[in-house]
Structure 1
Amino acid sequence: MAASLFQDVPLKAKVVGWGIIFIPLVVLLLLAAIFLRPEPINQRLVWGCYVAANAPPLDIREDAIYIIEPARRKFSYIAEPSKTSYQLNVRPALLLKRMPTGHYQFLSTRGIGFFWPLLPAPGKNRDRMRHPEEYAGRIQIAADGGGVVYSRKSDADACRQ
């Protein structure tokens, strides 16, 4: 029978030893949870008209995101921080699917919603924003066969219908 490494150590010494190890770790985790929270993002930052090649324009307003198409569908969203960046939490789940014509179309799919990453300017942290001020008016939407990047246009002609 093998002898335990701490067999002759009194219980009080074991408790003190484990306390010396775990109390600082718990304090570090609490401090990280308090001070490393991402800054909230103002929803106004994402408002505007967004376009992408071969995809229907999106008009992001205070109340909803409108797809500029004959059906004029809309869906809700929340601009929020994620674990590593910032994103739009959109509902219901609409999949951007490439049609045989080469154009994209939003189709209803199963699920409660999707997360669309907000992107910084090209060449800055690639696809990750560390602060809301880095937002460059670009949104990435997952699509079959890759992702489609929507860019905000200063003139909203594409969203007038």
Structure 2
Amino acid sequence: MYKLFTMALLAAALLITAPAASYAQGGTSRYKCMIQMTNYMGEGAYMVISLIDSKGKYDKTLYVLGSDKKWYKTLKEWYKFYSKKPSNISAITGASVTGGDRSVNVIDIESSKINAGYKIRFESAVEDKNYYVKDLEVPLTTEALSAKTEGTGFIRYVRFSPN
């Protein structure tokens, strides 16, 4: 009886963890990305999180904070990339974030890009305020993904944690 119960528990555990294991085997890693904003007065910041290759070129849009498409052009450098290669970003778009607030989002990163010379760029803009093409850049390394990284504009800091 005990053996049967133990085997049933093991089978249930495998069923629960199988989707996560197959996701990891698919070559994608999931990270929670916590963005803490500086204290500023004004509208919510529109922000884009992009994967940048070793040559400094945009590779992929990982997440967009701000859902009103009319403001995307204020993220000037990213918008040049996006307008040349438009893609459906609705699944990776969330609300803008205001001064002093924080935002937590889950982003998917191809595992093969980690420790391969890529960076994650945070670009930000606020209506009637500044635009920061590199508010923050994080080298896409195992070490950097486990550290707190300070921003230079509207972002105070960013932290990643495995999801």
State TM-score, norm by structure 1.
0.28
Normalised TM-score (structure 2):
0.28
Bigger Rg over Cα: 1
**Bigger helix fraction:** 2
Structure with bigger RCO (C-alpha 8 Å, 6+ apart) = 2
